[in-house]
Amino acid sequence: MSETKKRLLTGLQPSGALHIGNYFGALKPFLDIYGEYDSSLMIVDYHALTSLKNPTELNRNILDVAKDYLAIGIDPSKATIFKQSDVPEHTELAWIFDCLVTVPFLMQGHAYKDKVAKGLEANAGLFTYPMLMAADILLYDTEIVPVGEDQRQHIEYTREAASKFNIAFGETFKEPKEQILKGVGVVPGIDGAKMSKSYGNVIPLFGSKDEITKAVMGIVTDSGGDRPENVYAIHALFKNEVELTALYEANKKNYKALKEALIADIEAVIAPMREKRDSLSDEEVKLVIKEGGERARTIASAKMVDVRKKVGVTL
């Protein structure tokens, strides 16, 4: 991490296999610009613990997500890849933020409200989740956070946490900005609703060709017009409008041919990344995570020295 470049940071939960919504909404936007910044890419394992209570699965998912990061082309010498739990300053700072924000403020959290509405357990971690995310971001004086639209409110909450702290204890944290790109902020799933692990409507990022074929063939196509809108919306992530217009004109009403074309276009992007992914060993990935964690911790622990002094716990 250098002193001069602006900081860019994002993170993904290892709560299951990543999907193309994660890729186009957050990972690709990060990949496209990370070389120009002092960049970090986190595996937010303690966030995943709010929903996943299976240690074997969580452990496997952590390694899988790290492999995904490397397979899409992130160079670990140019970005700090680390897992949240390796830097205990994240949970420490989250506690301090918890003491600054109010319960009614957190109760307005969309992510919390949505999960509770779906009948998920309302554990306290899920409730205070945005303050752990604020800590993830603010510990590193992050300026830009590439995310999908569903994280917009979390970044607003992060700015609020920074501002509350700065007012209470003096200027300490930079207020970050979200980077949400038009056209990919909400990638639709195979049913047309937002693609989400929890809705079961995903196209897996690193699925086998069979898994991708099954998902694409399952795209809901009850469109009344000539064009199957749900297929087109996903296809638009892989091909430009001019190419797509010609393809969809030539195959009006031929939904099967259009889905086959989409499968081929997804494969063309994913197959080389899948190959890279298959070549990675667990051991080399563990080393990347360990080294990244050490780098991140150096920054985070220096920041916490200042924070602890400011709140008054350092003697």
CB nearer ligand TYM, residue 128 or residue 151: 151
CB nearer ligand TYM, residue 65 or residue 307: 65
Closest CA to 134 of 107, 164, 179, 168: 164
Contact between 197 and 16 under an 8 Å Cβ cutoff? The reply is yes
CB nearer ligand TYM, residue 26 or residue 304: 26
CB nearer ligand TYM, residue 25 or residue 207: 25
| 3-state helix, strand and coil shares in percent for the chain, rounded to the nearest 5 | 60, 10, 35
CB nearer ligand TYM, residue 19 or residue 251: 19
CB of 315 to ligand TYM, least distance (A): 32
Q: Which of 31, 96, 137, 190 lies at the binding interface for ligand TYM (CB under 6 A)?
A: 137
Q: Which of 145, 190, 216, 231 lies at the binding interface for ligand TYM (CB under 6 A)?
A: 145
CB nearer ligand TYM, residue 254 or residue 295: 295
Structure tokens at 10: 């994002």
CB of 21 to ligand TYM, least distance (A): 3
List binders of ligand TYM among 3-62 (CB under 6 A): 9-13, 21-22, 25-26, 44, 47
Contact between 138 and 169 under an 8 Å Cβ cutoff? The reply is no
> CA distances (Å), 266 to each of 63, 133, 203, 246, in order?
24, 32, 10, 18
Residue nearest to ligand TYM (CB): 25
Closest CA to 107 of 121, 130, 122, 127: 127
Tell me how far apart the alpha carbons of residues 193 and 211 are, in angstroms, rounded to a whole number.
20
List binders of ligand TYM among 171-230 (CB under 6 A): 184-187, 194-196
Q: Which of 57, 92, 141, 150 lies at the binding interface for ligand TYM (CB under 6 A)?
A: 150
Q: How many Cβ atoms are within 10 Å of 298's Cβ, its own excluded?
A: 13
Classify residue 12 as left (phi > 0), alpha (psi -120 to 50) or beta: beta
Q: Name the residues that contact ligand TYM, by CB under 6 A.
A: 9-13, 21-22, 25-26, 44, 47, 133, 136-137, 145, 147-148, 150-151, 154, 184-187, 194-196
